[in-house]
Chains A and B, each alone.
Chain A
Amino acid sequence: MTIVVAYADTPPGRAALNLAAQEALHRKTSLIAVPAVSGTSLTESELTDRLGAAGAEIVAAGGTVSVGSSDLHDPADAVIQVAQQVDATLICLGLRHRSPVGKLLLGSTAQRILLDATCPVLSVKAD
């Protein structure tokens, strides 16, 4: 029983992390963060810093907090692979608005995760 969060150091990414932490507490499960922007790295200590008190509460409730990694080059594929490997119950994801032209030119990690994931996906927008 695990929740996977697509992590990015952006407002939607942080919103997703907060939501994932709440869900993990609520369901008493573990949380795995996977960097979802190519080129970013995330260490366990950075993750616990970001989560703050929520992280400690998850651990207290019997879950674990960790960073997932994958050999795959594409961040969307990486998130989905980790989710499939740990048999995740939920993927948490932050969304942002992108114009149709922008989507055409750059594609969207979020859209790929939403469409290709094999488990439920919970998405959130930044405030």
Chain B
Amino acid sequence: MFDAALSALSSLADPSLLIMLAIGVFAGLVMGLIPGLGGTGAVAILMPITFGMQPEQAFALLIGALAVVHTSDTVSAVLLGAPGSASASVTMLDGYAMARKGQAKRALSLAFLSSMAGGLIGALGLTLAIPLARPLVLSFASPELFMLTVLGVSLAAVLSRGNIVKGLLAGFLGLLLGQVGTSPTTAEERFTFGSLFLGDGLSLVAVALGIFGLAEIASRVGQRTVDKDMVGLGGGWMSGIKEWLTHWSQVIRGALIGIWAGVLPGVGATAGTWLAYGQAVATAKDKRNFGKGDPRGIVGPESSNNSVEAGDLIPTLLFGIPGGVPSAMLLGMLLTYGIQPGPAIVTEHLNLMYLIVWCFAIASILGAFLCFLATPSLAKLTKVPFAVLGAGLLVIMLLGAFQEGGQIGDLWIMIILGAVGWLMKATDTPRAPFLIGFVLAIPMERYYYLTDSLYDGLGWLTRPGVLVFLAVLIAPALLALVKRTRKSAPDLGHRGEDDLSHGEEDEAEDGQLKDSIWSLGLALGVTLIFGTALAVSQSFSAEAQLMPRLVSIGGLITGLILLWKELRARRSIGDGPGWTHDVTIAMRMFAAMALFLVLVMLGGYLLAVALFVPAFLLFVARATPRTTIIYTLVLCAVLLTLPSILPVDLPTGLLQS
């Protein structure tokens, strides 16, 4: 084990790996500053670049970005009082208060150092998890691995956001979508409706960027800039650095909470930071200054949101169940390289695992260092209105999704899923179980077949490992039931159940369409999809039919429960919000995206960008003509040079050929 760790370190002496790591760190820092992207956006945007690279280079780039996203997202939270990602909103409570007192540098240095330490402790946790889990992982056979995939999806559904029915429905939907394409066992086409390009299944990048990336653009583009002026960078770096050393116990506690939150599927950085904050408050004797600039309110959460990403990697790499959305994408990427996480990775690819650990640790240090150096200049990026960034992001995201299969159909799917993702976000439906389900659909089916053909009947259910996983699966459901019955009796407060209710990735402005005609429509639509899927799956052969049928029946039942709940809520609360201003903006945004795609199909990518981006900037973002011209020229220049430095293809249109 020690040898493997050292040899992984020596392979990092390869300059190409170091360059990739540095690029990843820089990209991660920039994306951390942009609101709404977070780790999910960083991995999804960078992933297309890695197609065609060696796995080592690809992981150096992606881990470099993932490790530092939560280091730089603090900047806008502290200086503007507008968090770059949901998990930084915790830091805002005390960080912004401290900055307004003229101690911005103190707050930032506390945050950067804690982020660095959190990343290092997270990497250490990942290292220690390898030898601990190795014998366990090696004892797993297909029944256990099947149970793990089931556990991955269902825990994500149960733990994210506390809305179990919606979470399960999203998980089932992801599983169903993951089965589109060729069946892994019988090589027959499922849910392709005769379309050739659906035969390969949906592209992971398109799905992830659609459901998270485009949905984020659509919901944020209507927001105007933060009117608040940026707080000046007052105070000294040194005072913060000295103070940080006195809070070392908070740093370690925060990091450990973060690792734990990361290991649990569906509990992401946001919940992890709130848990760390709650812990810091609960154990503090003098609570007077929390929310008014207490250093302990910065140190713990900042340390935990970086270690969450490392904790996420533990179940992802060792058991093949992603702990969060970014790691779900990494898992999908591992699979495309033919590296099976779980038993195979601890025997054959141990070197890659340790390389990931080293990359994480080095990136954490590098990221904090760069933040100290570059914050004054990078902070200006946080003042750019999101609509202006949105145009460029849209162009980059669509180009990224095009790289996986080179199919324009992927881009249409991405926009449709973007609308679905926006609706899910607006109706308070967790999206993490959806993506985890999508990634795990094929492994789950494969393990199920192995189990089914190797064991007689249900004999595999009595294997000790399977029994343990069954217990883990059922215990949270029982606990939730106990809580619900307890809750019916009014009492003087109880702690605990809402600690985890701060969901994954997004906060604050979402859920505004809850209990409305929209959520009813979503429930109805999804239920209909499962009904159709059940009917369609009747035509498959017996082997190919089993998994889709199980998923559709499960989804149908969950969908009907949700429908009933929605109808009941309508009767008691009333109609709820109808056609609001946000809906109009989002609809216009998706129409604009569709228009852009039509332009791409007609005139090719470059022409479409040259027409769409200026129009978007002038009419939607209301940018000045000067900005518009420079922006468009730079973007076109980048698009022109990109194919010559990276293996990137631009979509071509009808008029070009």
Check B492 against A72 for contact (C-beta < 8 Å). Answer: no
Check B290 against A81 for contact (C-beta < 8 Å). Answer: yes
Contact with A along B137-169 (1 / 0, CB 8 A): 000000000000000000000000000000000
Q: Do A106 and B492 form a contact, CB below 8 Å, given A70-B291, A81-B290?
A: no
Q: Do A71 and B93 form a contact, CB below 8 Å, given A77-B287, A81-B290, A102-B486?
A: yes
Question: Hey, which chain A residues are within 8 Å of B493, CB to CB?
Answer: 6, 8, 36-38, 75-76, 108-110
The answer to whether B554 has its CB under 8 Å from any CB of chain A is no
From A23-31, A49-57, A60-68, A91-99, the one touching the partner chain is: A91-99
Check B277 against A73 for contact (C-beta < 8 Å). Answer: yes
**Alpha-carbon separation in the docked complex, A110 to B491 (Å):** 11
Chain A residue total in the interface (Cβ 8 A): 37
The answer to whether A10 has its CB under 8 Å from any CB of chain B is yes
Q: Do A74 and B282 form a contact, CB below 8 Å, given A85-B288, A105-B483?
A: yes
**Alpha-carbon separation in the docked complex, A9 to B490 (Å):** 9
Check B290 against A72 for contact (C-beta < 8 Å). Answer: yes
Check B491 against A96 for contact (C-beta < 8 Å). Answer: yes
Question: Hey, which chain A residues are within 8 Å of B224, CB to CB?
Answer: none
Check A112 against B495 for contact (C-beta < 8 Å). Answer: yes
Of B278, B281, B286, B494, the residue contacting A109 (CB under 8 A) is: B494
Q: Do A10 and B491 form a contact, CB below 8 Å, given A105-B496, A106-B483?
A: yes
Question: Hey, which chain B residues are within 8 Å of A72, CB to CB?
Answer: 281, 287, 290-291
Which residue, of B274, B287, B492, B494, has the highest number of chain A Cβ atoms within 10 A?
B492
The main secondary structure of chain B at its interface with chain A is: loop
Q: Which residue on B lies nearest to A39, using beta carbons?
A: B498
Residues 88-127 (chain A) with a chain B CB within 8 angstroms: 93-96, 98, 102, 105-110, 112, 116, 118
Tell me, rounded to whole Å, the shortest Cβ–Cβ distance linking B264 to chain A. 18
Which residue, of A73, A80, A96, has the highest number of chain B Cβ atoms within 10 A?
A73
Tell me, rounded to whole Å, the shortest Cβ–Cβ distance linking A73 to chain B. 6
Q: How many A-B residue pairs have CB under 8 A?
A: 92
The answer to whether B497 has its CB under 8 Å from any CB of chain A is yes
**Alpha-carbon separation in the docked complex, A52 to B494 (Å):** 28
The answer to whether B285 has its CB under 8 Å from any CB of chain A is yes
Check A38 against B93 for contact (C-beta < 8 Å). Answer: no
Of B278, B286, B491, the residue contacting A73 (CB under 8 A) is: B278
Tell me, rounded to whole Å, the shortest Cβ–Cβ distance linking B94 to chain A. 9
Q: Do A106 and B494 form a contact, CB below 8 Å, given A77-B287, A81-B287, A118-B285?
A: yes
Check A106 against B291 for contact (C-beta < 8 Å). Answer: no
**Alpha-carbon separation in the docked complex, A97 to B161 (Å):** 29
Tell me, rounded to whole Å, the shortest Cβ–Cβ distance linking B301 to chain A. 12
Question: Hey, which chain A residues are within 8 Å of B277, CB to CB?
Answer: 73
Tell me, rounded to whole Å, the shortest Cβ–Cβ distance linking B214 to chain A. 31
The answer to whether B13 has its CB under 8 Å from any CB of chain A is no
Question: Hey, which chain B residues are within 8 Å of A116, CB to CB?
Answer: 282, 285
Check A106 against B290 for contact (C-beta < 8 Å). Answer: no
Q: Do A8 and B291 form a contact, CB below 8 Å, given A38-B498, A74-B282, A106-B486?
A: no
The answer to whether A41 has its CB under 8 Å from any CB of chain B is no
Q: Which residue on B lies nearest to A93, using beta carbons?
A: B492
Q: Which residue on B lies nearest to A94, using beta carbons?
A: B492
The answer to whether B542 has its CB under 8 Å from any CB of chain A is no
Contact with A along B249-287 (1 / 0, CB 8 A): 000000000000000000000000010011001100111
**Alpha-carbon separation in the docked complex, A49 to B282 (Å):** 33
Residues 401-426 (chain B) with a chain A CB within 8 angstroms: none
Question: Hey, which chain A residues are within 8 Å of B498, CB to CB?
Answer: 38-39, 73
Chain B residue total in the interface (Cβ 8 A): 26
Residues 475-534 (chain B) with a chain A CB within 8 angstroms: 479, 482-483, 486, 490-499
Check A106 against B285 for contact (C-beta < 8 Å). Answer: no
Question: Hey, which chain B residues are within 8 Å of A13, CB to CB?
Answer: 492
**Alpha-carbon separation in the docked complex, A118 to B490 (Å):** 28
Question: Hey, which chain B residues are within 8 Å of A109, CB to CB?
Answer: 492-495
Check B290 against A71 for contact (C-beta < 8 Å). Answer: yes
Question: Hey, which chain B residues are within 8 Å of A105, CB to CB?
Answer: 479, 482-483, 486, 496
Q: Which residue on B lies nearest to A75, using beta carbons?
A: B493
Of A76, A106, A110, the residue contacting B497 (CB under 8 A) is: A106
Question: Hey, which chain A residues are within 8 Å of B486, CB to CB?
Answer: 102, 105-106
Tell me, rounded to whole Å, the shortest Cβ–Cβ distance linking A25 to chain B. 23
Q: Which residue on B lies nearest to A95, using beta carbons?
A: B492
Q: Which residue on B lies nearest to A104, using beta carbons?
A: B496
**Alpha-carbon separation in the docked complex, A81 to B93 (Å):** 15
The answer to whether A43 has its CB under 8 Å from any CB of chain B is no
Tell me, rounded to whole Å, the shortest Cβ–Cβ distance linking B482 to chain A. 6
Check A77 against B285 for contact (C-beta < 8 Å). Answer: no
Of A10, A39, A80, A107, the residue contacting B492 (CB under 8 A) is: A10
Of A36, A74, A93, A95, the residue contacting B281 (CB under 8 A) is: A74
Q: Do A84 and B278 form a contact, CB below 8 Å, given A109-B495, A112-B495?
A: no
Question: Hey, which chain A residues are within 8 Å of B497, CB to CB?
Answer: 106
Q: Which residue on B lies nearest to A7, using beta carbons?
A: B492
Of B482, B492, B494, the residue contacting A12 (CB under 8 A) is: B492
Question: Hey, which chain B residues are within 8 Å of A95, CB to CB?
Answer: 492
Q: Which residue on A lies nearest to B494, using beta carbons?
A: A106
**Alpha-carbon separation in the docked complex, A110 to B286 (Å):** 18
Q: Do A106 and B496 form a contact, CB below 8 Å, given A10-B491, A70-B291?
A: yes
Tell me, rounded to whole Å, the shortest Cβ–Cβ distance linking A111 to chain B. 9
Tell me, rounded to whole Å, the shortest Cβ–Cβ distance linking A87 to chain B. 9
Check B495 against A106 for contact (C-beta < 8 Å). Answer: yes
Q: Do A10 and B93 form a contact, CB below 8 Å, given A70-B291, A105-B482?
A: no
**Alpha-carbon separation in the docked complex, A71 to B274 (Å):** 12
Question: Hey, which chain B residues are within 8 Å of A85, CB to CB?
Answer: 288
Question: Hey, which chain A residues are within 8 Å of B282, CB to CB?
Answer: 74, 76-77, 112, 116
Check B494 against A107 for contact (C-beta < 8 Å). Answer: yes
**Alpha-carbon separation in the docked complex, A105 to B495 (Å):** 9
**Alpha-carbon separation in the docked complex, A116 to B287 (Å):** 10
**Alpha-carbon separation in the docked complex, A73 to B286 (Å):** 16
Q: Which residue on B lies nearest to A111, using beta carbons?
A: B495
Q: Do A36 and B494 form a contact, CB below 8 Å, given A77-B287, A106-B483?
A: no
Question: Hey, which chain B residues are within 8 Å of A10, CB to CB?
Answer: 490-492
Which residue, of A6, A81, A85, A107, has the highest number of chain B Cβ atoms within 10 A?
A81
**Alpha-carbon separation in the docked complex, A85 to B494 (Å):** 23
Tell me, rounded to whole Å, the shortest Cβ–Cβ distance linking A45 to chain B. 22
In the assembled complex, 30 residue pairs joining A and B whose CB atoms fall closer than 8 Å, in A order, are A6-B492, A6-B493, A10-B492, A13-B492, A36-B492, A37-B493, A38-B493, A39-B498, A71-B93, A71-B290, A71-B291, A72-B281, A72-B287, A76-B495, A77-B281, A77-B282, A81-B281, A81-B287, A81-B288, A81-B290, A84-B287, A94-B492, A95-B492, A102-B486, A105-B482, A105-B483, A106-B483, A108-B495, A109-B493, A118-B286
Residues of A at the B interface (CB closer than 8 Å) are 6, 8-10, 12-13, 36-39, 70-77, 80-81, 84-85, 93-96, 98, 102, 105-110, 112, 116, 118
Task: Known pairs A75-B493, A98-B491; list 4 more (Cβ under 8 Å).
Answer: A6-B492, A76-B493, A106-B486, A118-B286
